[in-house]
Amino acid sequence: MDESGEQAEVAIRAGFDVFYADNYRPVVALLSALTRSRWVAEDLAQEAFLRAHREWADVQRFDAPAAWVRRVAINLARSRFRRLRSEAAARLRLRPVQTVAELEPADEAFWAEVRRLPGRQAQALALRYVDDLSIAQIAAVMGVAEGTVRAVLTQGRARLQRQLTAKGWID
C-alpha cells in the first residue's frame, strides 16, 4: 500500500474510533431497555459495532451512521436466538463484568413494562426516552415515516399508561 493509501486507511480508522466512542454507551443504554440485561446489551452492542466496523467504508458515507448502527442493534435484540446466545455467552465473558450502579426498582419496573409492549412500540419509546432522539431521528432508525413514529409512540404511551396505572405506579 502506498503512503496516500495508508493515510486514507488511518483516516477511515480514526473516523470509526470517534463514531464508536460517541455511540457505544448510548447503544448499550438503548439495548438495556429492550433486553432486560446489561450483559446482553453489551454483547449485542459489540456485535452491532463489529458489523459497522466491517462495513465502515460504506457506513461512514450514510447520512446517519448512528441511526444505522442503532437499527442493526435493535434487529439483533429482536432475535430471541441471538439474545439467548448472548446470555449463554455472558457466563463466559472474556472481560470481567464491570460493576455498574443498579437501577432503582421503579426504573427497572418501568422498562420491564415497556418490554411487554409490541416490539415497535417498545423500540420507539426506548429511542425516545433512553436515546433522547427526535421524531425524525427515530424515523430514520426505524425506517418508517415520521407520522408512523408519532402513531407508534402514541399507541405505546397509551398502552404503557394503562399497564402502569393498573399497577398503581403512575397517576
Partner 1 sequence: MKLEEAARRAGAALRQQASDVTPPSLHEARQASRLRDGLTLASTAFLAALVVAVALALLVGPSRNRDVADTPLNTLAPVPSSADAPPPSEVSAVAPARVWRISYPATWYRADSELMPDLGMDSLTLATNPLTMEPSRCDHMPAASLRDLGDDDALVSVFFTGAELADAPPWPATGMNGERFPASLSTAAHVCSGRDDLEVHWRPWNLDGEGIQVLVVFGADVPEERRAEVWAVVSSLEASDERTEGSACVVTKPPVPGLTPPAPYNATPSPDDLVWYGTDELWTVLAIDGSFVPTKSVWWSTLFRGGSEEPMPEISVRFDRVDQTAPTIHSEGLGTNAYTVEDGWFMMADMEQEPAGCWRVTTSYRDATLSYVVWVP
Number of residues that bind partner 1 (CB under 8 A): 75
Among 66, 73, 77, 125, binds partner 1 (CB under 8 A): 125
77 belongs to the binding site for partner 1 (CB under 8 A) = no
Among 19, 49, 66, 73, binds partner 1 (CB under 8 A): 49
169 belongs to the binding site for partner 1 (CB under 8 A) = yes
User: Closest by alpha carbon to 27, among 41, 16, 15?
Assistant: 41
Chain position carrying cell 437499527: 71
9 belongs to the binding site for partner 1 (CB under 8 A) = no
Distance between first and last Cα of the chain: 65
Output the smallest distance, CB 10 to partner 1, in A: 15
Among 19, 35, 42, 77, binds partner 1 (CB under 8 A): 42
Among 1, 11, 18, 94, binds partner 1 (CB under 8 A): 94
Name the helix (H) or strand (E) containing 109. Answer: helix 105-115
If you ran DSSP here, which 8-state letter would residue 171 be given? -
| Cα separation, 152 vs 87, whole angstroms | 29
